[in-house]
Homo-oligomer: A and B are copies of this chain.
Amino acid sequence: MPELEEYLTIGQASERLGLATSALRFYEDKGLISSLRTVGGQRRYARDVLRRVSFIRAAQQVGLPLAEIKESLDALPAHRAPTQEEWQRLAEAWRPLLDEQIATLVGIRDRLAGCIGCGCQSLDSCDVFNPDDVAAQQGPGAHFLTL
């Protein structure tokens, strides 16, 4: 039986994910991933850890802190590999965030292009360089990253 291929050591997972072993242990400490243990106490990861970690990294790119990512992952079953539908429900939850973040960046880019394109006085009415008073409407900190 392919028991050797069934599970990954932390080094194997690390290599495949392009992530330090310390980061995997850190994620496990924080409850974002879990592992089985050998009799000797070494970690063995089920293969779905690869998908979980990939999900974590993608979520980080979207700007989510690990604590929130954990909350999302907590919706997944603890002791069996999640189904496709379960992954998709998580993924759909990001859509608004993703859209918002993309809109923010595209907004910066376009206003940038506007400032560059249209000559001398647009700069004074440009949101990118004169948000002034605008930011003050939202709470301190926050904006889109702290969602």
Least Cβ–Cβ distance between A64 and chain B, in angstroms:
12
Chain A stretch 100-147: residues in CB contact (< 8 A) with chain B: 101-102, 104-106, 108-109, 112, 115-116, 120, 123, 128-138, 140, 143-145
Q: How many copies does the complex hold?
A: 2
Least Cβ–Cβ distance between A60 and chain B, in angstroms:
9
Contact residues in B for A58 (Cβ distance below 8 Å): 108, 128-129, 131
Q: Are B120 and A109 in contact (CB under 8 A)?
A: no
Chain A interface residue count, CB cutoff 8 Å, equals: 50
Contact residues in B for A106 (Cβ distance below 8 Å): 102
Contact A16-B92, Cβ < 8 Å, known A98-B109, A105-B61? no
Task: Say whether A62 faces chain B, with CB atoms less than 8 Å apart.
Answer: yes
A-B contacts, 13 of them at CB < 8 A, read A16-B133, A17-B132, A18-B133, A18-B140, A19-B135, A50-B132, A84-B120, A87-B115, A88-B115, A88-B123, A95-B109, A95-B112, A105-B105
